Structure 1
């Protein structure tokens, strides 16, 4: 057993996206701030409707997947393929842009708290032009696990706990994504296996916690992506407050990334082709 330690800290920076939605962005601040296979991680959260009400009107994507996890609030997804889904408290929307999708994500509330995350997961070259897809994951479809003192919502991936294999609401895939929301009570501790072939990060978004390695306890910073070193086990301990932590891991793709806004391919020529497809309307015929 080898405990993972912190290799790099990426504090989230305040910015805006869509039609002016206020967010905090860690991964994806620049092309140099990524963790293969992940491209971007945004945290959003406000009780002021002015920070989110304009939402994300229709916009295109190609070449990757988006994972939106709603902790509080109500957002409506619609896309050009006819998919429609309501994202509410505790739910997840997993969208595969593949060869092309145009969608919108619009708030369905005029007041109250809206809080959650959006994660961008890259696709390997062999899958970038596959048909687009969309999946609504209801809160009751996300497995709840007890791991040590922690309550774990396993959105995606596989975890082996006490000799039993547990599958998330989404599992498999070439990048073997793991996405878990960990609630650790004050003073509590947990150990979670994370395959040594996976890159991994933890993101503390509430409370107080530290990462325990063989030699030290490293405090976690709020709203910061902590990219982890090699190892096969994640050991977390909460401080004087309950802690909520995202665990995100996946198998690196190891391919070049060419990104132009919402399009993520492998070469500049592929980006130019994507722009041409979007301009001439053939983009909308894909899916």
Structure 2
């Protein structure tokens, strides 16, 4: 067994998308190879409705999949195929844009005015770039939730973990998408397939993601769960941790516990031609997509 080294730890950066939605971007529009097959990850979290209520009006996608996971508030969506719906707290939507779709996403706050969710973009291999679009809307109660003896809770959105399989299926990158909560002081190792690219994203509390056992660094003055714990590189809210190769990730929860996403997928390793919400393999394919948008032929008939 080998613990995955940490290649990079970085904070998500504030940015604005859609019609003025203020969010934080952990990665995207940079090097598409670093987390292949994943292209972009946004944390849209706000308690000021004016900063998100204008949402993401009608826009195109081609050649990718978008994964929306809502924690607080709701997201109303509609598309050019006539689909409409509302995602609530704990719900997931996995949208395969394929050959092309126009859609909109309009977030709304909960009773306290809070909105929180994530959107991840996954690339599609060349053989599936022009596949028919499809949606998978998953209600919160359909997502398996596992509680371990030490109080760790894992929601399995997709992939298999601890004997449970997530409800989202048929995804090109065959990803594993986990929502992990760990109590204060708990130390745990999570298995990840060696051939997958992997990252974690912390959004509550703090944790050390160790690349040595035990990790080296500053010794905490107080005892945690009855024993001294050595902590290195404590990561807090809105932190991305990008891992190298290995088959395990070791996590030590901080004094307030931690909640994070642990996501991995099989790399596609193909050329990427990328313009906004359209991701193809060649510049010529990208130019065709933009031309289709201009002349009204972007939406293709179903096969």
Aligned counterparts of 2:29 and 2:288: Cα–Cα separation in 1? 25
Range that drifts further, 189-198 or 252-261: 189-198
Partners of 1:179 and 1:248 within 8 A in 2: yes
Indicate whether 1:141 and 2:142 are aligned: yes
Indicate whether 1:181 and 2:196 are aligned: no
Aligned counterparts of 2:40 and 2:149: Cα–Cα separation in 1? 30
Aligned counterparts of 2:13 and 2:167: Cα–Cα separation in 1? 30
Partners of 1:6 and 1:218 within 8 A in 2: no
Structure 2 length as normaliser, TM-score? 0.89
- RMSD of Structure 2 on Structure 1 (CA): 1.7
Determine the structure 2 residue equivalent to 1:274: 289
Q: Which residues in structure 2 correspond to 1:239-278 (within 5 Å)? A: 239-278=254-293
Determine the structure 1 residue equivalent to 2:59: 59
* Runs (5+) with no aligned partner, structure 2: 216-231
* Runs (5+) with no aligned partner, structure 1: none
Indicate whether 1:206 and 2:204 are aligned: yes
Determine the structure 1 residue equivalent to 2:129: 128
Aligned counterparts of 2:300 and 2:175: Cα–Cα separation in 1? 29
Aligned counterparts of 1:6 and 1:219: Cα–Cα separation in 2? 12
CA 1:278 to 1:4, structure 2 compared with 1: closer, same or farther past 3 Å? same
Determine the structure 1 residue equivalent to 2:91: 91
Range that drifts further, 224-233 or 24-33: 24-33
List 4+ stretches of structure 1 deviating above 3 A. Answer: 31-34, 108-111, 171-174
Determine the structure 2 residue equivalent to 1:48: 48
Deviation at 1:148, TM superposition (A): 5.7
What secondary structure, in the 3-state scheme, does the structure 1 residue paired with 2:251 have?
Answer: strand
Structure 1 length as normaliser, TM-score? 0.94
Indicate whether 1:23 and 2:38 are aligned: no
Aligned counterparts of 1:16 and 1:197: Cα–Cα separation in 2? 34
Aligned counterparts of 1:5 and 1:83: Cα–Cα separation in 2? 43
Structure number with larger C-alpha Rg: 2
Deviation at 1:238, TM superposition (A): 0.7
Partners of 1:66 and 1:118 within 8 A in 2: yes
Determine the structure 1 residue equivalent to 2:157: 155
Deviation at 1:7, TM superposition (A): 0.7
